[in-house]
Structure 1
Amino acid sequence: MNKKRITSKELAKLAGVSSATVSRAFSPTARINKATREMILSIAREHNYQPSAIARTLHGQGSRLVAVVVNTIANPCESEELDTLVHRLQDCQLMPIILCCAAIEDRLPLMRLASTYQVDHVVVFSDMFSADDALEIFTGIRPIMVTLEPHHHPDVSTIEIDGSAAAEEIINKVVDDGRKHFAYLAGRESSWIDQKRKEWFENALNARGLSFEAFGRGDYTYDAGFKEAIMLLRRHKIDALICGNDVMAIGACDAARRVLNRNVPEDLAIIGQDGIAMAAWECHDLTTLAQDHVKFIDTVIDLIQQASNNEEPAQRVKLTCTARWGTTA
């Protein structure tokens, strides 16, 4: 049978210290004598005591909770970034609340429910949740918006991704290799970042006197890349295919090789976007417009720490992508 938990006041009485000293004992960054901390923690374990995050909030100490709004955790790119973010938050003694938006038509009630937990920070990776909604629902918190359409609200920090230079590098190499007929396999129509990705490559093609001759649309999945690539390649004479993400590009490679007997990259170049770990596997070895996911999450953590200081203004950070060369282009 579990022992009955004691309160912080009871723990302080047993340890012969003040309640403030008990609170410092459970804060890794607080200054407290090592022997005193160990004594308090020992008594706490003996009497099944755990500090209450809810009580911290009631006393104005913050909940240490971070609402993380994503489209889905099934997408490899988002799951890789989320895995890194969760570990970094835990290293900072912060706890994430993960909110997945993609399968929910009315997302605002979910966000309002999360706001009742008195979160200290909100990081929005999803392009289905606006900055205005974040400001209205998570009152008193400076939202951190990433992969969304740029805005200039003074109370919102933003991370902007720029892949224009990397797209130009990829197009120049592929065109110099003799490619002339390009197609683009896009993702979700409502995605602003997907529109920007297509624009980066369009501008690079235009600079070489070329343009996309065909377009397809998928949903960022392997199946979509596989099926849409078959239709594009059967209907159009294409020698280079740019995909909206790496997963669709991997599906497109398999479709070209296994169904249409196209040689990649000999007569068809295929390029992805994201730079996920899977793209670098030897069985795929995909050429991709890659984002530095570790630097990306480091920037998110920096913005969270800056937001903790209310005197710091909102930040706007731009991160650039790079070309990661594989054997598909």
Structure 2
Amino acid sequence: MPSRATIREVAQLAGVSPSTVSRVLNGTDANHMRPETKARVLQAIRELDYTPVKAARSLRKQRTQVIAVLLPDISNPFFSLLARGVESVAFTEGYSTLICDSNHSVEKESRYLDILLAEGVEGIVFTPVGKPDMERIERLLRRGARIVVADRRVEGLPTVEADNLGGSRKLTEYVIGLGYRRIAYIAGPKEVSTAQDRLLGFQEAMDEAGLAPVLVRHGDFTYESGYEHAQEILQNYHVDAIMCANDLMAVGALNIAFEKGRSVPAEVGVTGFDCAWYTEVVRPTLTTVEVPAYEIGKEATKVLFNVQICNKQLPVRVIPGGTCMPRR
């Protein structure tokens, strides 16, 4: 492998000192250098195909120009889209983005926080699995890292999230308005604020309509948990609708309904939440709530770079689909 050109070699070819080359690279040459000198340095850089070593520049500046996005499940299209929103803003700011997947594991999440501390990232867009390790969070903050929570809430940290409670209320009101009455609900993890808000919105709308849920089960936002809980519901309870706290669980519920020969939506309605891309691919199309995952990622990163201590809530909207229909 050919050796990488050094800043000293660039300086020698241009007939200047290494510090002069450094000023050109860092953009600090204005009013301190003759145009012909800068031109010689730029020509030498092109001839030698010189690329600065970012790690060395980071050591000098005490800045890495790297942020991280720490997510619970990168295979979930919602979080993939959120990560793209983060990367789009970071890239325009001249930053690299590390993507870390905790895979719904609090232990793995804590380990990643240690790794990001060691890597010296300047900021983290963070979607915690549940209640995060605040000691590790405080350690990162003391080192100067900025942390913004996306899609969920952590007390004391700035947050960008969707109107999960309001969206869940509207979706439940829509389902009730179609004539569904015997409704089961598959919620998300108890310790996750997003799941708490969506469950509360469902309960408030049911109470207002004078209805009680057939039952509530807590999943973990995965396809498997939706499939397993819906299987129990369909085997043991008489329901005319299963509402799920996210789309992955809803697709799990939809598939077990088909396997058991239950017609959707004629016999049982199914709803999700998030409006991931595949909700228009499944048949029937999924009734859900559109959550702006990409915008959440973008807004969280803007807060990160602007060092704003604020909380933002983005609007959502109900997306009618083929998995629910008016009841006679």
Please classify the TM superposition score into its range, dividing by the shorter chain length: 0.7 to 0.9
In 2, Cα distance between equivalents of 1:67 and 1:29: 28
In 2, Cα distance between equivalents of 1:175 and 1:36: 75
Cα–Cα, structure 1 residues 35 and 77, in superposed 2: closer, same or farther, change >3 Å? farther
Q: Does 1:292 align with 2:292?
A: yes
Q: Secondary structure at the match of 1:126?
A: coil
- Which residue pairs with 1:321 in the alignment? 316
Name the TM-score, length of structure 2 as normaliser: 0.84
1:40-119 superposed matches below 5 A: 40=41, 43-60=44-61, 62-101=63-102, 102-103=104-105, 105=107, 107-119=109-121
In 2, Cα distance between equivalents of 1:297 and 1:45: 37
Q: Does 1:142 align with 2:146?
A: yes
Note the C-alpha offset of 1:276: 0.8
Instruction: Give the gaps of 5 or more residues in structure 1.
Output: 308-312
Q: Does 1:4 align with 2:8?
A: no
Q: Secondary structure at the match of 2:119?
A: coil
- Which residue pairs with 2:155 in the alignment? 151
Q: Does 1:277 align with 2:277?
A: yes
1:127 to 129, 137, 144: 129
| Paired residue type of 1:317 | K
Contact 1:70–1:126 (Cα < 8 Å) also in 2: yes
Note the C-alpha offset of 1:17: 5.7
- Which residue pairs with 2:198 in the alignment? 197
Identity %: 25
Contact 1:215–1:232 (Cα < 8 Å) also in 2: no
| Paired residue type of 1:230 | Q
Contact 1:127–1:148 (Cα < 8 Å) also in 2: no
In 1, Cα distance between equivalents of 2:274 and 2:232: 23
In 1, Cα distance between equivalents of 2:5 and 2:251: 56
In 2, Cα distance between equivalents of 1:124 and 1:98: 10
- Which residue pairs with 1:310 in the alignment? none
Cα–Cα, structure 1 residues 242 and 121, in superposed 2: closer, same or farther, change >3 Å? same
Q: Secondary structure at the match of 1:69?
A: strand
Per-residue CA distance 1:208-247 (angstroms, 9 max, x = gap): 1113221233332323322321210221111121112101
Q: Does 1:168 align with 2:196?
A: no
- The 10-residue stretch of structure 1 (164-173 or 114-123) with the greater mean CA deviation from structure 2: 164-173
User: Across the two proteins, how many residue pairs are aligned to each other?
Assistant: 319
Note the C-alpha offset of 1:25: 5.5
**Greater helix content:** 2
Contact 2:262–2:268 (Cα < 8 Å) also in 1: yes
In 2, Cα distance between equivalents of 1:67 and 1:239: 43
Question: Relative CO higher for 1 or 2, CA cutoff 8 Å, sep ≥ 6?
Answer: 2
In 2, Cα distance between equivalents of 1:234 and 1:3: 66
Note the C-alpha offset of 1:131: 5.1
Name the TM-score, length of structure 1 as normaliser: 0.84
Cα–Cα, structure 1 residues 45 and 299, in superposed 2: closer, same or farther, change >3 Å? same
Instruction: Give the gaps of 5 or more residues in structure 2.
Output: none
Give 4+ residue runs of structure 1 displaced > 6 Å after superposition. 27-39
